Amino acid sequence: MTADDSYDRIDDDDYPAYTMGRAAEMLGTTQGFLRAIGEARLITPLRSAGGHRRYSRYQLRIAARARELVDGGTPIEAACRIVILEDQLEEAQRLNAEYQRAAGSVAPTAVA
């Protein structure tokens, strides 16, 4: 990857731009928390050539939501499951709205 490729991906929410240390710092949490939510399969960080975990902005948003729940007293496993279900619901609602828009653009057939 060239420097130009990295610049093109600066706005990509899925680009793994953050090291574990930086991600933990941004979230105000520990690296252990990031490992725990990884073990719970909430997020799967990409690995660098050297084997270091790298996180995307999307993954950091997911981790931040899990942290909110854990800080509120929810066990980490339950918090991860809640976040997964919230994400699935959001995607289902997005798809449903898309299907409804598509159905609305199709002219109803005339009944004779």
Per-residue pLDDT reduced to its tens digit, 40-62: 999 999 998 999 999 999 999 99
Mean pLDDT of the chain: 89
Half-sphere exposure of 13 (CA within 13 A, CB side): 5
Residues of the chain with pLDDT > 90: what percent?
Answer: 74
Residue 76, burial from CB neighbour count under 10 angstroms (0-12, 13-18, 19+): middle
Tallying the residues shown for the chain, one arrives at 112
Q: What is the mean pLDDT of residues 77-82?
A: 97
Whole-model pTM? 0.76
pLDDT-derived band at 12, boundaries 50, 70, 90: confident
* Whole-number pLDDT of residue 76: 96
* pLDDT tops 70 at residue 72: yes
* pLDDT tops 80 at residue 3: no
